[in-house]
Structure 1
Amino acid sequence: MQTTTLSFANMHNHGELLANILRARRQSFIVQNKWNLPEAMGMEFDQYDTPQSRWIAVHNELGEVLAGLRLTPTTARCGIYSYMIRDAQNGLLDSIPTDLLYDPAPVGEEVWEATRGFVAHDIPAHLRRRVHLNLVLEMQRTSRAEGIRRMIALLPSNWNRWSARCNLQMSDAGRTMNMGGIDYQAVWIDFAAQLN
């Protein structure tokens, strides 16, 4: 099992891995969850998949993606869009309620957003915990490399069941809401301690 953080600067070193992440996202969000999202060539994507973002993958040596997520700086801008959680709060996205956060969405150099997180549906139960842990360890490595002190994430509302096991300091940032048949919640993930 391997982990990789991809960017537009390094994706040429990793063959099809970014495309495989987008294919795995399609399987997870469009096929499994039946969400109505943009897709092309068997890949799910949206307006936030830009050179400003990073993509984390847990994968095998063949490039098959077991889990992944996207990280976007809260300072990102692309046309009228910034980052998913902030744009939802500002009413730019119909699929996410505007009242998803308790406070105004943050904008700052040391705060990034984590979205489109998934674990492939066909991962056996005995491997899921290890896959989750590898995903979290790569998030921690990337936060150190990028100087990320905090992340705001949109996660399934069961996050508190596994956050302690993964040694993540997390707290709720908004209410629980049902989106596409799944309960989600905005949460804070604190990485400040590991940067000191």
Structure 2
Amino acid sequence: MESASLSFANLHNHGELFANILRARRDAFILNNQWDLPQTMGMEYDQYDTPQSRWIAVHEAGRVYAGVRLTPTTARCGIYSYMIRDAQNGLLDTIPTDLLYDAAPVDEATWEVTRGFIVSDLPAALRQKVRMRLVMEMLRTTRAEGIGRMIALLPSNWNRWAGRCRLEMDAAGRNMYMGGTDYQAVWINFGSQLH
């Protein structure tokens, strides 16, 4: 099992891994969760998949087991910035504008985590190993990019597994029921792990 952090600068070193991440996202979000998202050629994508983002994958023999997308909170592309901020600013009709306790940050050391998934057919015995591998690759990326904290919109049960993954997390907003699941915005603090 391997993990990788992809950017537009290194996609060419990873063969079809980027396309396989987008295929796995389609399976996770469109087929399994029944979300109405853009797709083409069997891949899910959106306006935040730009050269400003990074994509992390845990994979083996061409199969992606888990992944996330990281986007700096300073990102801009047309009218869009990053998902949580755009939701707060009323640009996304599927996420409430009052998802955060405070204003969405715009800060070089703060990045957003979105499109996190673990494939649904992964055996239970491997789930924690894959989750830890994903977190370790996120930690490597935070060091490389100088990220001190992240903001994410996660299922509200995040506090059940945060400790097992050795993540320092705090609520950043209220619980919200969306698409059949309870979600909550959270801070993931990496500042103490950057040294």
Query: What is the TM-score normalised by the length of structure 1?
Result: 0.98
Structure 2 match to 1:33 = 33
1:162 maps to a residue whose letter is: W
User: For the residues of structure 2 that align with 1:187 and 1:131, how far apart are their CA atoms?
Assistant: 21
Output the amino acid matched with 1:154: L
Match of 2:108 in 1: 109
1:179: how far off?
1.4
**Structure 1 residue 63: Cα displacement:** 1.8
Q: Which runs of 5+ in 2 are unaligned?
A: none
> 2:81 corresponds to which letter in structure 1?
S
The residue correspondences of 1:75-114 to structure 2 (distance < 5 A) are 75-114=74-113
1:135 and 1:157 map into 2 onto residues whose CA distance is 19
3-state DSSP of counterpart to 1:122: coil
Q: 2:54 — aligned with what?
A: 54
Rounded Cα–Cα distance in structure 1 between residues aligned with 2:148 and 2:96:
26
Q: Displacement of 1:182 after TM fit?
A: 1.2
Q: 1:9 maps to which residue?
A: 9
Per the alignment, residue 65 of structure 1 pairs with 64
Deviation of residue 41 (structure 1)? 0.4
User: 1:173: Cα distance to partner?
Assistant: 0.3
CA distance in 2, matches of 1:117, 1:98: 21
Moved over 3 A (4+): none
Could you tell me which residue of structure 1 aligns to residue 73 of structure 2?
Answer: 74
Equivalence for 2:142? 143
CA RMSD across the alignment: 0.6
Deviation per CA, 1:17-63: give whole Å up to 9, x if none: 00000000000000000000000000000000000000000000x22
**Quick one: distance in 1 between partners of 2:178 and 2:14?**
33
Question: Matched residues in 2 for 1:69 and 1:29: separation?
Answer: 12
> How many residues are paired up?
195
Please list the CA deviations of residues 79-135 of structure 1 after superposition, one character each: whole Å capped at 9, or x if unmatched: 000000000000000111111100000000000000000000000011101111111
* Aligned-partner Cα distance in 1 for 2:194–2:38: 36
**AA paired with 1:121?**
S
Q: Distance in 2 between matches of 1:66 and 1:185?
A: 24
TM-score, normalised to structure 2's length? 0.99
Q: Distance in 2 between matches of 1:134 and 1:154?
A: 20
CA distance in structure 2 between the partners assigned to 1:63 and 1:170 by the alignment? 31
Unaligned runs of 5+ in 1: none
